[in-house]
Amino acid sequence: MGRLSVNLCGIELDNPVIPASGTFGYGYEFAEWYDINVLGTFSFKGTTLEPRFGNPTPRIAECTAGMINAVGLQNPGVKAVIEHELPEMAKVFRKPVMANVSGFSLDEYRETCRLLDAQPQVGWLEVNVSCPNVHGGGMAFGTDPDAVRRVTEAVKSVATKPVLLKLSPNVTDIVSIAKAAVDGGADGISLINTLLGMRIDLKTRRPVIANKMGGFSGSAVFPVALRMVYQVAHAVSVPVVGMGGVSSPENVIEMMLAGATAVQIGAANLVDPMACKRIIDGLPETMDRYGIATLNEIIGGVC
């Protein structure tokens, strides 16, 4: 293994940096800026069984040190992803990708995962039970340990690839949710998804976004994310993928010290399309500065 490499659920990554779902499209958009094969992998846009138009506009609100979004899982549906997006993705990215999956029932989660699991390009299934801006799905599953366990069991019944459950921070006890996922057979945990937030337009005295509330992300959420990664990583025996406000090599190292095996970059990609490459390029010098020989050796290094 190289100095930056890590092993995520049996698959070796050249480095732990992974663009987060919903912030990197299907990869080929960013391939116009740089060779995206420098990434460890990436989690492509959240996929549902059927096409979704998403929430009404406006969908975005600016915040201090962050943003609120309520896109609502807009995507072309799993059939179109398999027939069009994956072949286009294969032209610019030669490594296994992470398929992010959402659903509104156990059957939907199961069938979407079954179809994506069969695709050679897919290395991991990242099952989203944490979307805060979709009515009737997403976070409705992720706030109940029993529902998380049942979703995990449903997906694991058809999956041959590693399954990671992406968890919501909008809960009282994140550890109980993570343990429920592991009890259901999860091979790993991804966290955190966005916090639930809101902005009000003072001129109109109405919410800025049409959905009223949405997912709050950006550098402001990093301390919350780091705390939850630490708690979960020290409570379960499966790998943790940490995310939430990560925007620098130092943030990546901090996440790994807290217990993350790999680290996803989200909102930073929307501000700077070169963010992930910049972070990867900066890791060796940052490691030298803090006396770190390999990233693998620091995972969970804080007791």
Torsion angle, CA of 174/150/83/12, rounded to 10 degrees? 50
Residue 269: strand, helix, or coil? helix
Cα dist from 222 to 130, 138, 156, 164, 214, whole Å = 17, 22, 30, 21, 17
The H or E element containing residue 126 is strand 122-128
**Torsion sign across C-alpha atoms 302, 186, 268, 215:** negative
Residue 108: strand, helix, or coil? helix
Catalytic residue among 113, 131, 276, 303: 131
Residue 182, Cβ density class (10 Å: 0-12 exposed, 13-18 middle, ≥19 buried): buried
The H or E element containing residue 62 is strand 60-63
Task: Say how many Å lie between the first and final Cα of the chain, rounded.
Answer: 25
- Rounded CA separation 17/85 (Å): 22
Is residue 131 among the annotated active site residues? Answer: yes
Q: Omega before 292 cis (within 30°)? A: no
- Rounded CA separation 113/249 (Å): 32
Residues in the chain: 303
Residue 142: strand, helix, or coil? helix
- Residues annotated catalytic, as ranges: 131
